[in-house]
Structure formats: C-alpha cells, structure tokens
Amino acid sequence: MNMSEEQRQQRLTQIKQQWETKRTLNRQLRRIKTKIGVYSAKGGVGKTTVAVNLAVYLAAQGFSVGLLDADIDTPNAAKVIGGGDVPNMADGRIQPAENWGVKVVSMSQFQENEEEAVIWRGPMIHNALNQFLQLTDWGDLDFMVVDMPPGTSDAPLTVMQTLEMDGFVSITTPQALALLDAKRSINMIKKLNVEVLGVVENYTGDVFGSGGGKQLAKEMGLTYFGDIALRPAYRDDSQPTVLGNKDVRAEYDNIWKGIKARLTELEAMPDQVAAAQAAAAEAEGEAEGAEK
Ligand SMILES: Nc1ncnc2c1ncn2[C@@H]1O[C@H](COP(=O)(O)OP(=O)(O)O)[C@@H](O)[C@H]1O
Ligand SMILES: [Mg+2]
C-alpha cells in the first residue's frame, strides 16, 4: 500500500520524536551509574523494606542514591521511607524529594486517590514509566534502587524491559515452600538476559526458620548475600530500621559487601561491557540518522 506524502511526513515526524525521546532518556539514565532492582515473585516478602533500607544504607555510606518505586500496583516505598517530603513538580519536571539522603520518586505520589486500585497493562506501564523517567531530574547518581512489582507477569516484565538495570537482588523467605516461586521468578529474569546479582533471605529466625535463601542460591548457582532477621524493630517507623538498629546495619554491611563484589566482578567482564556499549552506540547512531 502506498502512503501519501502527508502520511509519510507524519510517520517520519513520529519516528523522530520517538528517537528524540529515547535519546534524552538514555542521556539522563547514563548519569546514573548503577541501577539495582529489588525483586521477588511474591508480595509481602519484604521487597519494599529491603529496597528502602538498602537505599538509605548506601546514602549513609556517602553515595548519591535514588529510590524509584516502580511497583505500580502497590506503590508504597515513599511511605515506607518516610520523612514526609514530596517531590516538587515545577515546569513540568519532577524534582525528587530527598528523605534520609535518598532521592525518592514513586508512582503513588501522582495518584489522585491513594485508595483507588490502578490496573496497569503492559503498554501503559511502559509509557508511564518512560514518561516518569524522562521527567524526573535525578541528577548524577551512584545508585538507583528500584522497588519492583512482584510476580512474573506483565508488570515486572515491562519494568525490566523499559528500564535496563545492572542487576537484581532477589528476595526470598526461609521456608522451602517459597523456593518454587523464587525459582520461577529467577528463571524469568534469566530468560530476559538480566543479571541476578544474588539472593537475600528475609524473615530469618525462630518463626519462619532459615536456610531457604541459601538453598535457593545453591540450586540456582547464585551468590548468597545473607539473611535479614525477623525483628520487632521494623514496627518503629520513625526512621528506616537500618539507621536505628546496629544488628540490622550489620546485615546490610554483609549484603552490600556481596553486591559490591558481584558488581566488581561484572565490571571486570570486558567482553560483555564492550558488547553492550557497541549496541548503545549503534542505537545512538541510528537516532542521529533519523534526525537528519
Ligand atoms: N525482617 C523483617 N522483620 C519484621 N518485619 C518485616 C521485615 N521485613 C519486612 N517486614 C514487614 O513486613 C511487611 C511487608 O513488607 P514489604 O517490604 O512491604 O513487602 P513487599 O514489598 O515484598 O510486599 C511490612 O509491614 C514490613 O515492615
Ligand atoms: Mg512492596
């Protein structure tokens, strides 16, 4: 079928705009050195808690850190981190709020009615997240921690495809029953060729036992980053638990050591890095081409 000249021009303009958007986004995202997703197949395993405490921990180490709440169905990371500052939306740009030294942006901050359930489909998630990422002035960050939507369906997949991350920390619980879910989710991530940095076990202790995380890591050939005990300390929401409890801080020292070692290992894989850079350069070249 022949396109009219007008249609052709329209299409061309559309393609140019898409490339321009993608370029701006890439340029902005390049200012974020390392993006780490916190993920699990199930809800309620402590993803948000770990994402928040990890972000706050990294900020306390002197890194510049952002926390992106990408859990569109139950966005509560901004609430959990507390501090109360809300992002400033002037001139159509989003200036993240800074709480406990962490720049925070959450989908929840843009929902008109907090109690309303939002049902997001893949393309909507993709568009919303893209827009969100474009409009936010994160500035230069050492780390962005992403609180992921749970599950193995549309939502987490779309987030993983829209926002390229350096890797994921997979959260699991101590019980053997949870292993199957955890394995399924890790297999999904692997299928997408995304890096699983390692495994963390949450809720370790007398109530739920221990060992699930270690077993999972062993069976999946992953690094075990350590466990996080079930503690009443989490009920105190006056500040993130990692700041007020030295046993919790020790747990995060351990997890951070594991993440750092894995990231260093990945950095030392020149082939993969070169391939990724070549692909990025190619995309950039095509964008330049489309502009002319
Ligand atoms: N190690 C822990 N000890 C005690 N309570 C915890 C711990 N980890 C998480 N919680 C609590 O469990 C609940 C669910 O955690 P959350 O991080 O919201 O899970 P998810 O984001 O995976 O749905 C929250 O109320 C949180 O404070
Ligand atoms: Mg959550």
Q: Is the pLDDT of residue 292 over 60?
A: no
Distance from C-alpha of 87 to C-alpha of 85, rounded to nearest angstrom = 7
Whether the model clears a pTM of 0.75, i.e. scores above it, the answer is: yes
Summarised one tens digit per residue, pLDDT across range 90-144 is 788 889 999 999 999 887 666 656 666 666 667 777 877 888 888 889 999 999 9
43 lines ligand 1 (CB under 6 A): yes
Q: Is the pLDDT of residue 37 over 90?
A: yes
Q: Is the pLDDT of residue 285 over 80?
A: no
Summarised one tens digit per residue, pLDDT across range 50-74 is 999 999 999 999 999 999 999 887 8
Q: Which of 77-86, 122-131, 269-278 is least confident? A: 269-278
Distance from C-alpha of 201 to C-alpha of 221, rounded to nearest angstrom = 16
Q: For residue 128, give every residue at least 6 positions away whose Cβ sits within 8 Å of its Cβ, in sequence order, or none.
A: 72, 107, 120
Q: Parallel, antiparallel, or unpaired for β 102-106 and 97-99?
A: antiparallel
262 lines ligand 1 (CB under 6 A): no
**CB 243, CB 56: distance < 8 Å:** yes
Q: 144-169: string of b/e by CB count within 10 Å (b at 16+)?
A: bbbbbbbbeebbbbbbbebbebbbbb
Structure tokens at 141: 């960050």
Q: Is the pLDDT of residue 234 over 50?
A: yes
Distance from C-alpha of 216 to C-alpha of 199, rounded to nearest angstrom = 8
Q: What is the pLDDT of residue 166?
A: 93
Cα 252 to ligand 2 centre (Å): 18
Q: Is the pLDDT of residue 289 over 60?
A: no
Distance of CA 255 to the CA centre of its chain: 16
Q: Is the pLDDT of residue 284 over 90?
A: no
228 lines ligand 1 (CB under 6 A): yes
Torsion-angle region of residue 34: left (phi > 0), alpha (psi -120 to 50) or beta?
Answer: beta
Q: Which CATH superfamily is domain 30-291 in?
A: P-loop containing nucleotide triphosphate hydrolases (3.40.50.300)
45 lines ligand 1 (CB under 6 A): yes
Q: What is the pLDDT of residue 117?
A: 60
Question: Scanning the structure block, which residue is given the tokens 């193995």?
Answer: 152
Cα 196 to ligand 1 centre (Å): 21
Distance from C-alpha of 252 to C-alpha of 139, rounded to nearest angstrom = 26
Q: Is the pLDDT of residue 287 over 60?
A: no
